[in-house]
Structure 1
Amino acid sequence: MTACVTVLIIGAGCRGKHYSCFAVHFPSRMKVVGVADPHTFARNNLQKIHNIDKKNVFNDWKAATERERFADAVVIATPDRLHKAPAIAFANKGYHILLEKPMAVTPEDCKEIASACKANNVMLAVCHVLRYYPASLKIKELLDAGAIGDICHIQHLEPIGFWHFAHSFVRGNWRNEAETTFSLLAKSCHDIDLINFWMGDKRCLKVSSFGSLSHFTNSHKPKGAASRCLDCSVEQTCPYSAKKIYLKLAEKVVNMEFEGGATAAFTMMAFTERLGTRKTTVYGTKGELFCDGSGPVEVFDFCTREKTVHPTNKSTVIPSQLMGHDGADYYLMDSFISAVAENKPSLIQTGPEATLQTHLLVFEAEKSRKENRVVFVETRKEHFP
């Protein structure tokens, strides 16, 4: 049997608590031995759940770095703009790191994190959970096996859901770019990462991005609308009513060109009924691949004119607390804990180099959108420290 991995949680909010639940359901594989969070309730709640020794409970993560390393790994789930400092500090102390996405909110900070992890020879897993998702892995397996020949084009859609976009990106935590980061990085770096993953060794050469705040603006404010939904005379006819969402219940396009002429188009759509159920079509020289959500994956062969349905081998035993992203959170934690326990970095799909390339491409896409031009992507050697 492999050793139980000890973990320190930095940021005891939604995501930190969520990942810590792996220890509750698999106590022989993971044990939470410390927590740091400035909020008393969140900190004490995690301490109680995992029976953490008081000496390992901190209201500031910096205090934990002043001690000798007392855990195998650290989960960093602080707000987006507060990722860099703890990631570098804990890498320097020798902790293996599970880092919530995005890595950081500037290209320079992302490079520094990747460099620190490599310099200290620690494993870094960034929470691009969709790389661990059975449907994503089945698509990768089929593409690498040549099921549709050479990739010509990938078309990928992320439906955010009309109410979820309003909740998170209009009035929620990511409502203000100056306080957090831009929506493509905060929400859809998952999807750019998937496209990079499926393309394999092909390097992205050019990227363009289009999108703007087209609906949630003062000019579209309904006549007679108030500042608060509960006080608003038009609330009953508004699909984005907070009363409807909480008491009862934008669009961005990125185009990419890769080596060899393959292209990809990603659409992040706010105005959808579905929430998070991605839809992917890959067009190849010998066939076409399609996957809607969790699968199965369908492949149409141009030679035989036949369609083959491939199951995704999704595990049926996933604890409800780890069902985030339709179970992908479980697969991420399973891979990371196994990698640390067995000292096998190869089990991590989202290590420093692969994740850095994705993030830098996302920053280039945002530059394209803001400057209204096609951006030519630098070589990988120039990107990586």
Structure 2
Amino acid sequence: MGGVTPYNEIIMQLYMQGGLTLRTLTAVLLGAGSRGRYIYGPYAEKFPNELKFVAVAEPDDERRQRFAEIHQIAEEHVYHSWEQAFEQGKIADVMIICTLDRMHYIPTMKALELGYHVMLEKPMSPNARECIELEQASLKFKRLLVVTHVLRYSPFWSGIKKCIEEGELGAIGTIQLTENVGYHHMVHSYVRGNWRNSEETSPMILAKSCHDLDLISWLMDEPCTAVSSFGSLLHFKAENAPEGAADRCIDGCEAERECAFSAIKMYLEQPADHWARYMTHDLSQEGIIRALKEGPFGRCVYRCDNNVVDHQVVNMEFVSGANANFIMSGLTQSGTRRVQIMGTQGEIIGDMDKGSFTLYRYATGEEIEIKCSVQGDGHGGGDERMVSSFLKNVHQFDRNPSQGLTSATASLQSHLIAFASERSRLQQGRSIKLTEMYQKEEAGV
């Protein structure tokens, strides 16, 4: 059910109608990390008539050169920093920004000012006021600013959205969404990895779960009025280290064989193209061992500089009186999302990992299982559809300036919910009013 019409079909239809000149869009990539390298780069390789990278900015030498070689980028457009990518003015149609969270705001503002259409990795910024300013800038400069809330494009979530829009549930009373992060993902990204410390990047509710808050906001389709939240760093801290734990798993740790979070088990004893590829370019056994000895991913999970939560709950109230509850936990076996949507005429219960949801109709007693394709990327097939939709909107923008399904305007509410959630958590669950928070942030109070 649902889904997004493939880009190829839409563009060809417009072309055949004489309403569009078909041409390849050119792009600048800022940040050739996992998203740039494994999502956007492969899209351009798969659909070379749709997207061509003509410049890349990446501080890591090996990542930068590898991306440049794959996409045959001229040497004068291979940059060490994002700042260099702006020195020659506007050199492409679009800019895809995959830098770390605290390096989103300034390059995005510069790109919009120069006239780029922008695809920006979530979150927009770890600062609420900057998110508001980015949304305002996209409207001021009349440019697309699409935030990568990729799950909206997946068959699973778009199928659920279609059921709601067709009135299958009546009025929604409550949405309950659980994000099981999975302990492997938790320790890789949020204990040892780039998003472990909120002072360097973002709080986990923003860095990881703005996807989920966006889904709730999208499915509910009305303003959120108030938020409260509780959560903490329960487990991954020094006081919970087992007896005999070393600073690094590879340094003769006495507890390593019994530890569920052993870096040796995760990176050396798993296939190299699974987790290890995200921490080192050298996937030989020697290369992985070197990374475990020298880099952050070899550290004991109880002896890192992490401070983000490993579990959190968020309660939301909406303008109609409907409410939602979101649970995020890194203390789970698998990484999946489970949802229950309770309405006046029906109910939906689904598991994204299984790729299906069940629609219950109260009046007839029917139970209808709806299967959705989950083939493709790690976001249920949403990544490719998201890029397709972005390119479609760029091609059509002069004729039909749609901001798209995940524009900055559409995304702003879920970002504000995330900021309000973190403020509430730090204030022992105090209720935060969103309108009041927005007004204060906009005024710079």
Q: Which residue of 2 is the match for residue 348 of structure 1?
A: 404
Q: 8 Å contact 2:156–2:380 — kept in the other structure?
A: no
Q: 8 Å contact 1:254–1:265 — kept in the other structure?
A: yes
Displacement of 1:315: 8.0
Displacement of 1:384: 7.3
Spell out the pairing of 1:304-383 with structure 2 (5 A cutoff).
304-312=364-372, 314=373, 318=376, 323-343=377-397, 344-346=400-402, 348-372=404-428, 373-378=430-435, 382=439
Unpaired runs of 5+ residues, structure 1, are: none
Let me know the Cα RMSD of the aligned residues.
1.8
Q: Given the superposition, is the C-alpha separation of residues 138 and 126 from structure 1 closer, same or farther in structure 2, using an over 3 Å criterion?
A: same
How far apart in 1 are the matches of 2:234 and 2:95? 40
Spell out the pairing of 1:217-366 with structure 2 (5 A cutoff).
217-230=237-250, 231-249=252-270, 250-275=310-335, 277-293=336-352, 295-312=355-372, 314=373, 318=376, 323-343=377-397, 344-346=400-402, 348-366=404-422
Displacement of 1:332: 1.1
Whichever residue aligns with residue 113 of structure 1, its letter is: L
CA distances 1:28-50 after superposition (whole Å, capped 9, x unpaired): 11111111122222111111111
Q: 8 Å contact 1:287–1:299 — kept in the other structure?
A: yes
Q: 8 Å contact 2:156–2:374 — kept in the other structure?
A: no
Displacement of 1:242: 1.0
Q: TM-score, normalised by structure 1?
A: 0.93
Displacement of 1:331: 1.3
Q: 8 Å contact 1:4–1:341 — kept in the other structure?
A: no
How far apart in 2 are the matches of 1:46 and 1:103? 24
How far apart in 2 are the matches of 1:175 and 1:132? 28
Q: 8 Å contact 2:155–2:380 — kept in the other structure?
A: no
Displacement of 1:75: 0.4
Q: Which moved more, 1:288-297 or 1:373-382?
A: 373-382
Q: 8 Å contact 1:356–1:384 — kept in the other structure?
A: no
Q: Which residue of 2 is the match for residue 6 of structure 1?
A: 26
How far apart in 1 are the matches of 2:195 and 2:211? 16
Displacement of 1:211: 0.4
How far apart in 1 are the matches of 2:403 and 2:139? 16
Q: Which residue of 2 is the match for residue 181 of structure 1?
A: 202
Q: Which residue of 1 is the match for residue 51 of structure 2?
A: 30
Q: Given the superposition, is the C-alpha separation of residues 186 and 143 from structure 1 closer, same or farther in structure 2, using an over 3 Å criterion?
A: same
Q: Which residue of 2 is the match for residue 214 of structure 1?
A: 234
CA distances 1:204-223 after superposition (whole Å, capped 9, x unpaired): 11111110011112221112
> Secondary structure of 1:300's match?
strand
How far apart in 2 are the matches of 1:240 and 1:40? 30
Q: 8 Å contact 1:158–1:268 — kept in the other structure?
A: yes
How far apart in 2 are the matches of 1:37 and 1:242? 27
Displacement of 1:181: 1.4
Aligned residues: 377
Whichever residue aligns with residue 334 of structure 1, its letter is: S
Displacement of 1:299: 0.8
CA distances 1:311-338 after superposition (whole Å, capped 9, x unpaired): 43x386x5xxxx2323221111111111
How far apart in 1 are the matches of 2:225 and 2:204? 23
Q: 8 Å contact 1:353–1:384 — kept in the other structure?
A: no
Unpaired runs of 5+ residues, structure 2, are: 1-14, 16-21, 271-309
Which 4+ stretches in 1 moved above 6 angstroms? none
Whichever residue aligns with residue 258 of structure 1, its letter is: F
CA distances 1:2-58 after superposition (whole Å, capped 9, x unpaired): 321111111112112231221100011111111112222211111111111222222
Q: Which residue of 2 is the match for residue 127 of structure 1?
A: 148
Q: Which residue of 2 is the match for residue 149 of structure 1?
A: 170
How far apart in 1 are the matches of 2:232 and 2:437? 29
CA distances 1:301-360 after superposition (whole Å, capped 9, x unpaired): 111011122343x386x5xxxx23232211111111111123255472110111111111
Spell out the pairing of 1:74-223 with structure 2 (5 A cutoff).
74-200=95-221, 202-223=222-243
Q: TM-score, normalised by structure 2?
A: 0.81
Q: Which residue of 1 is the match for residue 278 of structure 2?
A: none
How far apart in 2 are the matches of 1:363 and 1:340? 30
